[in-house]
Each structure stands twice: as C-alpha cells, then as structure tokens.
Structure 1
Amino acid sequence: MAWGRSRDRISQLPADILDHILGFLPIQDAAKTAALSSIWRDVWLSLTQLNFDDGFFCYIYRKHRHAIKYGKKLAVSLYVINKVLLLHKGTIRKFVLNIYNVGIHAIRSRSYDFDQWLLLVTRKGVEEIYISFEKEAYRLPSCVFSCSTLKRLHLYGVAVEPMNFPCRLPNVASLCFQWVDFGPINCAIDVPVLENLSFLSCENIFYFNIAAPKLCSLTIESCSSNGLGKFLSVNLYLRSISTLDLVGSVKEFVKEFTRIGFQLNVEYLKLSCYEELYIQSDKSFSVLAHLLLLCPKLRKLDIDLFWLRSVATECMNTLSELHVAAQTNKMLHALKLISFRGSHSEKLFIKKLLASFSTLEMVVIVRDKNYCKKYTTGIMQELLDLHVASTKTKIIID
C-alpha cells in the first residue's frame, strides 16, 4: 500500500520531471516503467535520453544467452533499438550508441540501420550524440554535420565520408573525435560557436576542413597524417585558442606552425609527450623551445615528465636555449610537472626551467605514485633548494 501511494504521488509529477527521473535509469529499466500505468507509458514513449550503451547490449545478450550465434544476439539488439525509435514520440535530446566486439563485417552489413537511426535522431531536436564503433567499421552519414539543434558530438571509431555540400553546425559547442579517420571533405564545415575541439588518435585531421572562430580549447592526442607536410586544416582558426593540450604529436604541431609563421594566444599549455622534447627541430632550438616561442602569452604550463625516462643526461644540454625562449614570455606564473620519479635527467630539466622563467610564482611537482622506488628526503630537499629566477616562486611537492 505504501509503495502504491508513493507511486501515485510520483506519477502526479510533471512530465518533464518524470522524464528527468527516467534519464538516470538504464534504458532497459526505464522501459519497464511503461507497465505501471498509461502515464508512465507515455513518458517512456517520449523519453528524451536514449542510451544504448554497453549496459543495454549486455542486458540483451544475457536475456538471449541461449541464442546459438553471437550475430543473432546482435540482430535482436538492433531490432529492439529499431522498435524503440519507431515508437518514440517527441524530442530526443541525447542519443548514445555504443557497439563493440561484433566485428567489422557485422557492423557494415547493418550500416543502413545506423544511417536511418541518425537521420531520425537528427530530425528530432537532438542536442547530444555519442557514437562508438569498432575502428573504421562505419562511415558516418553527412546528416550529422548539418544538424541545427546539435550542441555536443562525440564520435569514436568511425570514418567520415566525403561531403560535397556546405555543412553548418550552428549550435555545437563541443566536438570530440576518437579513432576517427577523416577522408577528403570537399567543403568547409561551419561551427560558429564551437569552444572545445578534441582529436584523439585520429588520422588525417588536416582533411577536417572546419571553420571555428570562437575556438577556446584544442586537444590533439597521438594523431597521424598520410599527407606529406600536412597536419592541421588550413582553415582551422587557432588565434582564439587559450588552452592547448598536446599528447604526442608535438613535433608535427611545432613544424606546422613554424612554417605558418604566426604566434598563438595560448594561456594554458598541457604537454604529455611520447617523443623527446629535447630533440632539435633546427640548428638552434628544441621542440619545447619552439613551442614556447609560439606561445608568448603563456600563463600556465603543465608537463608530463614521462618522456624524460629514456633521455640520457648529456642530451639535456640541448635545453640551454630554454633561457632564450623564456625571454619572450613574461607572463608564465604557474608550472606543473607530472610523474616525477627523481631521476638525474628530471632534476636537471626542472633546474633549467626554474632558472629560465623569472615570472614563476607557483611550481607544483607531482610524484609518480605508481613508482615503487622510495623518494628520499634528500631528493625532496634538493628540489626545494633549487635556484630560481624569481624570488616569488613557491615550490610544492605533491
């Protein structure tokens, strides 16, 4: 009786509140509420968040665990999604689709279904789309890049098909591409309010011809290019960027902008490199020094010291030009050094940085917590006693 009265009270809540409540449930559990009453059935049929993620597919596979072939389980899952979308009424604000471990052939054989789903969703006022496939198993239809209501888009493991007509995403503020292969896109994609753009393990991003005049944050992680001498799109407007996060790909980025010949307005730079920053990019400056020269307005710098683990001590002498690069920057106040293990190369690198930048006020050194070697009191004190160019510098060891 108590549950009945509580259920009745909940049922009397406004439809948008009920929709919000169901949004916290896995979609298979949200579907079960349709059996409670006609009110809940209407809410379910107009659910604004459709989340077909790992939990949904695992639920379907468990329910049909006696199916002989894995492909049959996939077919049942796709049938359920088809039915949900066909019966759906009203707006879909968020659409999540995560299909993995089914094989490239199985995905490509059902591409028509996926195309139809995205065509439907982009006509229902969708604001967020998160799609994940096995790498390059699915070619994304162009309707996604002309959805006027879309605000956030996250794509994983897809290929972008060529588009020969202008595309515009007037409301998108965040774009994230992961394991995406960009083919020749023959038109510009206009994203006038885009603020955050991420390329993670992508290929041929120079083909992604995007115009984003309000871009604030750019992340590039371990991207590759088949085009000789090409890395970023020539139309990608970077003068507005205030936050730049580079994980690998640093040499390619520096080479690209050294060739272009203009400076960036980056205020926050994050570097996590798999290649050595000390490697000379020309006869006088290292990759790191060149990057600092590109960012004269830099105020905050984070560097993961992972790359120093394979660097011989004698190679650190090539960082002597850091002092020259530092003369162009009078705004760097905060420095964060991550994954410190206490090696001689790391200490020498930190020493050169602290001696170069005269405006530093805060230096945070984060120790590698997974490193089994104990940090001696002597190493910690040695860091605290390093000579610094600024009398205002405070060193914190975490």
Structure 2
Amino acid sequence: MRQKKKSRWAADLSLSPPSSSSASASSSSSSSSGDGGRDAGEKGGDDRLTELPDTVRLHILSLLPLKYAIRTGALSSRWRALWRLRWPHPAALEFSPPTDLGDSAADEFVAGVDRCLSARGLGRRIDALFVALPPGRRYDADIKRWLEYAASCGVEDLSLVVSPLSLAATSARPGRRARRNDLAAVSSAFFFSISECSSLARLTISGLHLSSPSANIKRLSSLEVLSLQAAHVTDAALRRIIAACPFLRSLDLCLCRKLRRIMITAASSRLTSLTIVGCVRALEVTISSSGLRRFRFSGNYLTTYSFDSPSRLEDVYISSGSPVSSLPRSNWVKALGELSNVKVLTLCNLSLQYIVAEGVKAIGEFRNFRNLRELQLLMGMMTDDNLMDIYGFFRLCQCPRLEKLFIELPTNMGDPFIEKYLVGSEEEPPEVDFEYLKIIKINSFKGHSNEICLVKFLLGKAGSLESLVMISPKELMGEQHNKNILDGCPDFLHFLQSQLLSFTRASVGAQIILSEHDDNKFSPTHWEVYSKV
C-alpha cells in the first residue's frame, strides 16, 4: 500500500527517481551485507529483529539517522531498502528542469517546485532533497524559501546543482556574457539558510557562486560530508565554511577553479578524507588535521604539500594526467617519503619520474613502505623511459607486503609522445621479490615490446601470484598486428596468449587471463577517483 502511494505521489509532483547519491548509498549498504548476513536472518531463525512486524521495524527506522537506517540493509534481505518506506510519504525528492529549456523554463520550474512542496505540506520528513536549477536567472529568494522548508522537515542529505547551459543557450550568449550569466545564476546568501538545517549531514553544492560568509556564521554542527563541485569558492570562503563544520569528516573539492591555497586547520580534527580533483589554480595544500587517513589529489602538481601527521595516512592517490617537458617545482617526493603507513597507493607516470629523479636520495626516503598492500600505476605514456621509471620505483621503493598491483596503460593505440614505439629497453630489471603479490591486473594491454618486458619482469618475481589479468582493447585487431599472426592462430589475441604462457613464471600455478572483456572481478580501490578525472 505504501509503494502505490509513493508512486502516485511521484507522478503527481513530476518527481524523478531518488537521487544517485541515495541510490548508491543503498546499493553499497546492500552489497556489504553479503550472503552471510542474509542466511543468518532467513535460515538461522535467530534474528529477532527481522522477525518483528513491519510496522515495528519501520518505527525503529524512523528513529535512526538516514545513514544508519540505510545500513540496516546488512541485517537481511527483509531489511534491504526498507528504509525508503520508513515514512508514509516520499522522503527522497528530486527536482530537475526539463531538457528543452525555453525562455520561461526557469520560472515554470520554480513554480512547479513550489506547488509540489506546498501540496506535500509542512513538517513531513525529508531524508534527501536534490534540486537542479536551470541557468539564466538568480534564485536568491527561491533557494531561501526551499531551504526553510527543508529545514522544517529535518533534511539530512541536500544537493543543489546548477544545470549546465544547453547548446542552444550557449550559442545564443557567446563569450564573456555567457560566463557572467553563469556566475550570476545563484547568490552566495543561501549559505545562511543552509545553516538553519540543523539535521543536515551531507551537502553537495555544484555550480554555485560562494563568497566568504561572515565570521559569526551559525555552525553546521551535524554536517559530516561536504562536496563542492564546479563551485566558485575562494580560499577565504572555504576556510570559513570548514570552520563552521566542526564535525566534518569528508571534504570533496572538484573543479573549484578559484582555489589557490587550500588550508585545513587543526580545528577540523575529525576530517578523515580529503579529495581534490581538477582545481587547476591550486598551488598549496596545508593540512593540520591529525585524523586525516585518506588523501586523493588529481590535477597539476602543487608546489607545497604539508601534512601534520603524514604517518597516519593510509589511502593516497596522486595523479597528473598532463605530459610535461620538465618536472615542475614541488616538495611532493619528500611528502611521499613520510607516508610510512600507507596501505593503498595510486601514482601516475609523472609521479614515478619524480621519484626516479631523486635518485640515491630517494632510497632512504622510501624504504618504509612496509604496510603497502595495493598499488595502482596510471601510465599515461609508455616509452622506454616510462618502463625504466617503473623499474626504478621498485628498485628504490621497497614494498615487501604488496598483494595487489593494478596498471593502467595508455588507451590510445598510437601515442604521439612515443618516439621508440615497439622498441624494448635493454636495461636489466631490478632484483626485487614480490613475496606476497597475488593479483596483477593490466588494462589496455596491446602487446607492445615495453609492455611485454613489464609482464616478463612481474611474472618472474611474483612467487605467490594467483592471477595475472590483462584486458586488451578491441581495436587491437588492426592491420598493424596482422603480420604477427602465426599459422593456426585465429587472431592476434590468441597469439599473445600463447606467447605469455611461454614466459618463465615464479609461481607455477599462476593463472594468466588475456581478454577483450573486463568482468570487473578485480578492481582497484581508487577506481571511482580514476573514473571521476
């Protein structure tokens, strides 16, 4: 009966399905339950919570914050997604503008949202509210009105997004005029209204123009997760916002092009995760939070990386996808050498160049990677020099407990930066021992000589290897490879497979898989960060 009522409400209010953040949270909590939790509740008969009547279980869920209500899906299949029905009315609302934006689309959209919220009534609980605003006008009063309503309904997850301009609108307003209209689409005053949402735990802001709030801004004492995406936020504004969130544990900064010096003060001691992606003008990051465990950065290398407690970092992602003629000035290698307890690490080919360039000085810095369990290498280029950089990393950086290795090779079939294409290096690989390495996965494997040398090196050193998985691009069957096809081999993929099986293996039982299709059985921890770039 509840499901029918929810569907009818969604149809009447022209609401979209729940936002992706809510859906992904439900999915992740469901997947984490595993078969064990399901069997315990359904077969064991000892799960008294699951045996309670639905009305009682829904009442229990109504007493829990949203994130804990979602996590109850791990108890059994009967709890899974039950949190969506914990209120007798829709509690996950999503408002998106029409795809065909006309001259009056923004006004019509605002009027539609107002009608929906008015029909819904005051005081009815909102778990998650997603609003995508059409560009082309200001929304000062509208946002203030909607946030006041959301605050009265105890909203916990709030997303405010400025929709990108349509192609027609962009062509009609070329150059600086279009950029000025984008910047003026919303006001920064909405932050004062957000501070009235006392139950807010997760906030996503995309495309909004934020100025520095006043020093006496009311604190967001419940906010734990903050994501700023393509937001026009200054260094000062970011510092004030962070200072107003004493319990913030996760901060995500994506495409915030005004940021130059990102500072996290000691007052943010609860911050455990910081992600910075595509903030192209950023020069420095200073982190005084002793609780930081996860640092993920993608963009132009910063001149200064400063961590108060680098030895506590366990999860680090450092990547720059842009080729450079010379290494930019940065203290990154010194900062990396202080990560004595890192367990999951992602590096790009430029990172490897930094390490190797330090030469003998890096040896003392990096021999403390004793806890590293998973390493991912993002090779935007794969020349002879890049192969030597990989060798150099393993020669300088001892990883005695490494268990998983993921390598992303260049996706393009012909790299304009490669001068010695398909020519292998004559330098000997380093004498290292991958005693605990069990999983190796290489994406975009094309069988080039440098790649073959790398595979031979890994197979010969990994004595406990269980699986070597190589995913080849479908474009591999081009004419340039036909000359390598042997009689009796139907295609180049089979030829490569036969070659790989002939290599010397330190682990006799290692399974070698070469395929065009990735079943995602093995995925790196940082796959989500990599896909975001």
Cα deviation code 1:129-166 (max 9, x no counterpart): 111228xx645648899633212121122333224899
Aligned to 2:340: 264
1:23 Cα deviation after fit: 0.5
Cα deviation code 1:249-296 (max 9, x no counterpart): 697799623477435333333455578869952457954356541655
Stretches of structure 1 lacking an aligned partner (at least 5 in a row): 58-69
| Alignment pair present for 1:302 and 2:406 | yes
Match 2:312 to one of 217, 240, 247:
240
Q: Which secondary structure state, in structure 2, belongs to the residue aligned with residue 42 of structure 1?
A: coil
Match 1:47 to one of 119, 123, 126:
126
Q: Which secondary structure state, in structure 1, belongs to the residue aligned with residue 456 of structure 2?
A: helix
TM-score, scaled relative to structure 2:
0.55
Cα deviation code 1:290-349 (max 9, x no counterpart): 65416554322211011895543687538745x24x34x643332211111222222222
Aligned to 1:379: 496
| Alignment pair present for 1:288 and 2:363 | no
Stretches of structure 2 lacking an aligned partner (at least 5 in a row): 10-54, 63-84, 97-108, 171-177, 363-387, 479-490, 516-533
Counterpart AA for 1:127: A
User: What does 1:1-398 correspond to in 2, within 5 Å?
Assistant: 7=5, 17-18=86-87, 21-26=90-95, 32-34=115-117, 40-42=120-122, 47-53=126-132, 56-57=133-134, 71=136, 74-75=137-138, 77-88=139-150, 89-99=152-162, 100-101=164-165, 103-109=178-184, 113-114=187-188, 116-124=189-197, 125-133=199-207, 138-139=210-211, 141=213, 147-158=220-231, 159-162=233-236, 163=239, 167=243, 169-180=245-256, 181-184=258-261, 188-203=265-280, 207-225=284-302, 227=303, 230=304, 232-235=305-308, 237-248=309-320, 256-258=332-334, 261-271=337-347, 273=349, 280-282=356-358, 287-289=389-391, 291-292=393-394, 293=397, 295-306=399-410, 309=415, 310-311=417-418, 312=420, 317=425, 320-321=428-429, 323-324=430-431, 326-327=432-433, 330-369=435-474, 371=476, 373=478, 375-398=492-515
Aligned to 2:19: none
Residue 263 to residue 387, structure 1, CA distance change in 2 (3 Å):
farther
Aligned to 1:61: none
Q: Which secondary structure state, in structure 2, belongs to the residue aligned with residue 317 of structure 1?
A: coil
8 Å contact kept, 1:269–1:298:
no
* Aligned-partner Cα distance in 1 for 2:211–2:426: 45
Cα deviation code 1:205-249 (max 9, x no counterpart): 563322344444432223343x4xx2x2343x3433333334336
Q: Which secondary structure state, in structure 1, belongs to the residue aligned with residue 90 of structure 2?
A: helix
* Aligned-partner Cα distance in 1 for 2:292–2:454: 32
* Aligned-partner Cα distance in 2 for 1:332–1:140: 49
Q: CA RMSD in A?
A: 4.6
Q: Which secondary structure state, in structure 1, belongs to the residue aligned with residue 296 of structure 2?
A: strand
Give the number of equivalent residue pairs: 363
Residue 272 to residue 174, structure 1, CA distance change in 2 (3 Å):
same
Q: Which secondary structure state, in structure 2, belongs to the residue aligned with residue 340 of structure 1?
A: coil
Q: Which secondary structure state, in structure 1, belongs to the residue aligned with residue 316 of structure 2?
A: strand
* Aligned-partner Cα distance in 2 for 1:253–1:357: 36
Aligned to 1:60: none
8 Å contact kept, 1:267–1:297:
no
8 Å contact kept, 2:140–2:190:
no
8 Å contact kept, 1:156–1:179:
yes
8 Å contact kept, 1:170–1:193:
yes
How many percent of aligned residue pairs carry the same amino acid? 16
1:390 Cα deviation after fit: 3.1
Residue 279 to residue 147, structure 1, CA distance change in 2 (3 Å):
same
Cα deviation code 1:56-97 (max 9, x no counterpart): 53xxxxxxxxxxxx73xx23x554333322444242312212
TM-score, scaled relative to structure 1:
0.71
1:381 Cα deviation after fit: 1.8
* Aligned-partner Cα distance in 1 for 2:442–2:90: 42
Q: Which secondary structure state, in structure 2, belongs to the residue aligned with residue 376 of structure 1?
A: helix
Residue 185 to residue 276, structure 1, CA distance change in 2 (3 Å):
closer
Aligned to 1:66: none
Residue 104 to residue 17, structure 1, CA distance change in 2 (3 Å):
farther
Aligned to 2:379: none
Counterpart AA for 2:320: G
